[in-house]
A and B are shown apart, each in its own frame.
Chain A
Amino acid sequence: MPIFQSNDLKRAALGVAVLIAALLPQVASATLGQPEITVQTDVELAHASIKSSEDRTGYRVHEIQLPSGTVMREFVAPNGNVFAVAWQGPTRPDLRQALGQYFGAFASAPRSKLSDRRHVQIQQGDLVLQSGGHMRALSGRAYLQSAIPSGVSLGDLH
């Protein structure tokens, strides 16, 4: 059953937003927990481009290519809100933009003698942030536990 049937208008609006983003040097970027059409100009993503937007069963994925080589994916629930972001590549994307109000949880994650420079796992309230890898190959994801659409597997969020 198509899940976006009642959101044709929203889809059309997004289509325009994506088209504009593709045509302009600056890209519209959504934020975790916010509507996908929350168009916010993002200086850090200024030279990024949307590679693809794909409807999957139960959600939609926008794939954004950064000049550094990093690929970022934003996962959108049927209600139109971003429920997860994931990244893979030599740099992290602008997470201040992508995480929005949840950015502080990552920036202030505590360090201890068990810290190394290779792992992060944060669970704070609704937010889960997980990252691993090494120089030249960083990967990670952040999602809102309560916002994951039913039927979506955590394993798909990468």
Chain B
Amino acid sequence: MVSMRALKMGLCVLLCLSAIACGGSDGTSGGGTPPPPPTSTVNTASVIIDGGPSASSGSVNTMFTTVTVCVPGSTTSCQTIDHIQVDTGSYGLRLLSQVLTLTLPVETLANGDSLAECTMFVDGFSWGPVVTADLQIAGETAHSLPVQAIGDSRFTNIPAACSGAGGTEEDTVSTFGANGILGIGPFELDCGDCDTVTNNGFYFDCTTSCTGTMVPANLQVPNPVTHFAVDNNGAIVVLPSVAAAGASNVMGSLIFGIDTQSDNASGTQTVLTVDDLAELLVTFNGQTFANSFIDSGSNGIFFADSSITTCAAPANDPTSQIVNFYCPASTLTLPVTIQGMNGTMTNNLTFAVGNAINMLENTDFDAYPQLAGTLPPGNAGSFDYGLPFFYGKRVAIAVQGAMTTAGTGPYIAF
């Protein structure tokens, strides 16, 4: 009798494991024994800093996670996709159509036309329709979530208003450097005014060609966290410290919700409120930069300091981007102060700048805590504190309006 029960429990565990592995099964096909009632939603996904999907040209200081998407309403038409970049500096889930095996329904506007989006990143743009999917990540779900399907073969007619913005067309895994991106910045939507502005640059009404259109907020691509049934007021990134020289395959956690469960409770961390661009103040070298940001989507620490030697391009690669990174003769430890819009300031914070050429010589590594680079002077006024900020920290990003015991979003806390 006892052994029979143990067998049943073992079977259940196996079924549960297989449900996690497939991500699509509902896990209730085990027969008579009902599963124990859930005490809470599993709210932690793992993240990894590695070299990115094999189809890409590699990456440094780039954090990835894995998501499962299903055709809305289906528990069987599902797909699990790895190497989704976790980006606290953007909003919305975007998937590369190249890796999508599902046919996800395209959103239609009130006039019946299809909705597509042009996502402008600093270095280029991604084009594709807005589709809907049921998203599962950890135990969290978002039903009928608007998602951008980048590079969808049904939408190859890129409007000039999108391609004319310039930069690289990032519509393939190779040019995008990931299988998708999960934008979990501290706001709900990727565009502030797209519900009232026709030529907003983001959203397009498509028939055989596409023209700019305003879009009701509920059709726009949102930060998926805000659409979770629970744990929907923000997210927490937890990464270990990384050795100065770098490391490979650094693993961490992405915890959803703030003060919604025991594992995401606020403590006594520093809470820095951000402005309506998710920016705050950074003081460095006696100068305060009002358009600064903390951003997991930046692969280094970027700031202007003409006293630090920049790297020289190797003779065999004169156009290498290495010239935009710092190469001091010895590691520098520099003080920096970060101040929120709420007036709260960090104390005694320092960061290290290593020699980028020396650290990148170890090509087995993907995580470099001391990687720092020059800020494009066209972006003066910023201090861009990228993924190295997150190493060795627990960083909470509370969305606008979130009420937590530590404060009201939008804020970043650590």
Cβ contact within 8 Å between B278 and A134: yes
Interface assignment of A101: CB less than 8 Å from any CB of chain B? no
- Is residue A33 contacting chain B, with contact meaning CB distance below 8 A? no
User: For the complex, what is the distance from the CA of A69 to the CA of B276, rounded to whole Å?
Assistant: 14
Report whether B277 and A119 are in contact in the complex, using a CB–CB cutoff of 8 Å.
no
B160: contacting residue among A44, A68, A118, A120, CB under 8 A: A44
Interface of B is mostly: loop
The answer to whether B377 touches A96, judged by C-beta atoms less than 8 angstroms apart, is no
Within the complex, the shortest CB–CB distance from A113 to chain B, in Å, comes to: 4
Q: Give CA–CA (A52, B91) in the complex, Å.
A: 33
Q: Which residues of A contact B202 (CB under 8 A)?
A: 68, 90-91
Taking a contact as CB atoms under 8 Å apart, the answer to whether B166 and A154 are in contact is: no
Q: Is B164 in contact with A117, judged by CB distance below 8 angstroms?
A: no
A103-115 interface bits toward B, Cβ cutoff 8 Å, 1 = contact, 0 = none? 1001111111111
Q: At the interface, yes or no: A26 with Cβ under 8 Å from chain B?
A: no
Asked if A24 lies at the interface with its beta carbon under 8 angstroms from chain B, I say no
On whether the beta carbons of B123 and A117 are closer than 8 Å, the reply is: yes
A135 touches B380 (CB 8 A): no
Residues on A with C-beta less than 8 A from B177 are 111, 115
Given A46-B199, A119-B122, answer yes or no on A132-B167 (Cβ-Cβ < 8 Å).
no
Residues of B within 8 A of A134 (CB): 89-90, 122, 278, 293, 295, 297-298, 384
Judging by beta carbons under 8 Å apart, are A118 and B384 in contact? yes
Q: Is B60 part of the contact surface with A, judged by Cβ < 8 Å? A: yes
Q: Which of B14-22, B134-142, B248-256, B320-328 has 4 or more CB atoms under 8 Å from chain A?
A: B320-328
B380 pairs with A158, CB closer than 8 A: yes
Nearest-Cβ distance from residue B412 to partner chain A, whole angstroms = 13
Contact B376 A137 (CB under 8 A): no
Chain A residues near B319: list those with CB within 8 A.
Answer: 110
Bound complex: CA A3 to CA B166 (Å): 34
- Is the C-beta of A80 less than 8 angstroms from some C-beta in chain B? no
Residue of A nearest to B181 (CB): A117
CB-based contact A131/B160 at 8 Å? no
A and B contact pairs by CB, cutoff 8 A, 7 listed: A46-B199, A90-B192, A96-B163, A107-B166, A111-B177, A114-B321, A136-B190
User: Which residues of A are interface residues toward B (Cβ below 8 A)?
Assistant: 43-44, 46-47, 66-70, 86, 90-97, 99, 103, 106-121, 129-141, 154-155, 157-158
